[in-house]
A = this chain, B = another copy of it.
Amino acid sequence: MPSAEHITETVNRYISLVAKGTADDIVELYADDATVEDPVGAETHIGRQAIRGFYSTFENMERENELTLLRVAGNEAAFGFRLTVKAGDGGMVIEPIVVMAFNDEGKVAAMKAYWSPENVTQL
């Protein structure tokens, strides 16, 4: 089982990479057969290729990201963050709660993001 320290470090690295990393950087955190459901209720992305596609959609946008809350329990984490995506003079802020389950190798096996349009603010 991955340690709480490893899970905490991975979540912080995820927050940082969602702001400044490439889709390839982010995919490195995931297991080969990982699943991503973002937002919950949408189609699940299965496997690294699909997950890379998901993250590449905002790879070239200017972003800032801040971890606002973190809970680690067992081999999972739940956390909140505030992601700002800039576009011209405007942009938007998204504030989800995310849950990640880790496998025995310390990779993210499943990610689910809880948010709806109510949690998006236009700048």
A97 and B69 contacting across the interface, CB-CB below 8 Å: yes
Q: In the bound complex, what is the Cα–Cα distance between A30 and B40 (angstroms)? A: 20
For residue A74, which residues in chain B have a CB less than 8 angstroms away from its CB? Answer: 39-42
Is A72 touching B4 in the complex (CB atoms < 8 A)? no
Q: Write out the residue numbers on chain B whose beta carbons fall within 8 Å of the beta carbon of A116.
A: 4, 71-73
Q: In the bound complex, how far is the Cα of B74 from the Cα of A116, in angstroms?
A: 9
- Most chain B C-beta atoms within 10 Å of own C-beta, residue among A40, A69, A113, A116: A40
Interface size on A, residues (CB 8 A): 25
Contact (Cβ within 8 A) B71 A97:
yes
Given contacts A41-B73, A71-B116, A79-B97, 7 further A-B contacts (CB under 8 A): A39-B73, A71-B96, A71-B119, A73-B113, A77-B114, A78-B97, A78-B114
Q: List 11 A-B contacts (CB under 8 A).
A: A4-B116, A39-B73, A40-B73, A40-B74, A42-B74, A71-B97, A72-B116, A73-B114, A73-B116, A77-B114, A99-B114
